[in-house]
Amino acid sequence: MKRSSIKDIAKLAGVSVATVSYVLNRKEGQRISEETRKKIFEIAETINYTPNKIAKSLKTNKTKLLGLIVADISNDFYSHMARNLEDKALQLGYTLIIGSSDENAEKFKKLTELFSQQQVDGMIVAPVAGSEKTLENLMDIKYPVVTIDRYLKDVAIPGITINNHEIAEHTASLLLTKDFDQIIYVGYQTELPHLLDRQHGFERAVRISKKTVEIQYLLVGLENIAKEVHVKLEKMLGTSPENTALYFSSNKLAVAGLAYLVKNNIKVPEQVSVIAFDETDTYHLFPTEITYIKQPIEEMAEEAIKLLDGQINNFAATGKRITLSAKLISKASLK
């Protein structure tokens, strides 16, 4: 896919490249008719022209701006990630611009377009379901981009992720060594590979285990999480559970589940043991310290900035994905 240029606009409008540049940059003092100005803007819109100062031919015009698109900036994981990315970027002389896609593919696309218009040197993105075409378009025009936390199948973009499958399998295996009557996996109905990796790791541990224990799966959508978790926990868990373990595959799911436990005065770990993927400051409000899987946020941020800076300066390998290791932090919520 060839990116539209000022030369393309000049050719279609029948004017010089300089005239197009004056009009698009809204420079004053040039005797250019209103009709010509209108024609140039119409052609630019028709051929989807976007200023591209990060193209290789204009490397000397780097803005030292980086764009970051997260799925949900209100999530502690992404806010902490943004903070660390900002710090690492500053060390290399970059300023970070942040946007939140809210798990919406159209909003994700618009943010990439906005950042492109802001002439950022490159982007770090947490892709959402349905954003494959947007990422492929960035790859086609050789736009420096790195994924963080997430990845999409069949889209070979350099990125940083963690060993979701392995750490989930390890965590489930630990639960299976204990004498629970019931283990409930709380996850998402989703196509996002990194979340499916967590579920598949859990499932593998269950398959290879010789332990006789009831396994249930509580899966919710990405919207109305708290409501769905409460309704489904009431059906699966009730208000007086015994000898049960809850494994939450994200901090948002865990916060929703913990709220249900508090509301129904269910004791942790006396009645229910809890393990959560990711940490969040909200856990500190719960009376029992929560066992959680800790992602290496600072290391992820450092590697992402290095990978993106490498692309911008033409020495990083295309399609390189770095997998870092998460670890289980044992606290009082697991008996």
Res 62: pLDDT: 74
**pLDDT classification of 59: cutoffs 50, 70, 90:** very low
Q: By the 8 A CB rule, do 147 and 71 touch?
A: no
Measure the CA–CA gap between 96 and 207, rounded to whole angstroms: 44
Whether 268 and 241 map to the same domain: the answer is yes
Number of structural domains (the chain) is: 3
| DSSP 8-state code for residue 91 | H
Joined tokens for residue 127: 């892709």
Whether 106 and 177 map to the same domain: the answer is no
Measure the CA–CA gap between 233 and 34, rounded to whole angstroms: 65
pTM passes above 0.85:
no
Segment among 1-10, 96-105, 160-169, 193-202 with least mean pLDDT = 1-10
pLDDT digits (tens, 9 = 90+) for 266-325: 999 999 999 999 999 999 999 999 999 999 999 999 999 999 999 998 765 556 889 999
Whether 101 and 38 map to the same domain: the answer is no
Measure the CA–CA gap between 57 and 66, rounded to whole angstroms: 19
Res 65: pLDDT: 93
User: Would strands 272-277 and 291-294 be described as parallel, antiparallel, or unpaired?
Assistant: parallel
Q: Provide the CB-side half-sphere exposure for 199 (13 A, CA).
A: 17
Q: What is the mean pLDDT of residues 116-125?
A: 90
Asked if pLDDT for residue 195 goes beyond 90, the answer is: yes
Sign of CA dihedral 241, 75, 127, 225: positive
Res 61: pLDDT: 57
Asked if pLDDT for residue 101 goes beyond 60, the answer is: yes
Measure the CA–CA gap between 21 and 158, rounded to whole angstroms: 34
Q: Provide the CB-side half-sphere exposure for 193 (13 A, CA).
A: 17
Q: What is the mean pLDDT of residues 71-78?
A: 93
| DSSP 8-state code for residue 295 | P
Question: Does residue 302 lie in a domain region?
Answer: yes
Joined tokens for residue 89: 């970027």
Whether 93 and 176 map to the same domain: the answer is no
Joined tokens for residue 234: 């009431």
Give the amino acid at 178: K
Q: How many CB atoms lie within 10 A of CB 160?
A: 28
Res 57: pLDDT: 37
| β-pair partners for 147 | 125, 159
Question: Does residue 307 lie in a domain region?
Answer: yes
Whether 258 and 279 map to the same domain: the answer is yes
Sign of CA dihedral 194, 199, 203, 209: positive
Q: Is residue 283 helix, strand or coil? A: helix
Whether 312 and 232 map to the same domain: the answer is no
Whether 280 and 311 map to the same domain: the answer is no
Res 3: pLDDT: 64
Segment among 35-44, 100-109, 242-251 with least mean pLDDT = 35-44
Whether 18 and 63 map to the same domain: the answer is no
Question: Does residue 18 lie in a domain region?
Answer: yes
Whether 96 and 156 map to the same domain: the answer is yes
Which residue range(s) make up the domain with 200? 164-296
Segment (H or E) for 280: none
| DSSP 8-state code for residue 212 | -
pLDDT digits (tens, 9 = 90+) for 133-147: 999 999 888 889 999
Q: Which residues 6+ apart lie within 8 Å of 88 measured at CB?
A: 301, 302, 304, 305
Q: By the 8 A CB rule, do 157 and 133 touch?
A: no
Res 51: pLDDT: 60
Q: How many residues does the chain have?
A: 335
Res 4: pLDDT: 73
Measure the CA–CA gap between 196 and 326, rounded to whole angstroms: 16
Question: Does residue 113 lie in a domain region?
Answer: yes
- What are the start-end ranges of the E strands in 94-222? 95-100, 122-125, 145-148, 159-162, 182-188, 214-220
Question: Does residue 51 lie in a domain region?
Answer: no
Measure the CA–CA gap between 313 and 164, rounded to whole angstroms: 30
Measure the CA–CA gap between 234 and 315, rounded to whole angstroms: 54
Res 28: pLDDT: 53
Res 50: pLDDT: 65
Chain centroid to CA 66: 16
Segment (H or E) for 72: none
Res 49: pLDDT: 73
Whether 290 and 303 map to the same domain: the answer is no
Joined tokens for residue 98: 């942040």
Question: Does residue 332 lie in a domain region?
Answer: no
Whether 290 and 306 map to the same domain: the answer is no
Determine what percent of the chain is predicted with pLDDT higher than 90.
Answer: 69
Chain centroid to CA 309: 19
For residue 244, give the CATH number of its domain.
Answer: 3.40.50.2300
Whether 261 and 303 map to the same domain: the answer is no
Q: What is the mean pLDDT of residues 214-230?
A: 94
Question: Does residue 277 lie in a domain region?
Answer: yes
Question: Does residue 335 lie in a domain region?
Answer: no
**pLDDT classification of 253: cutoffs 50, 70, 90:** very high
Res 58: pLDDT: 40
**pLDDT classification of 44: cutoffs 50, 70, 90:** confident
Among all chains, which residue has been given the structure tokens 């024609």?
Answer: 39
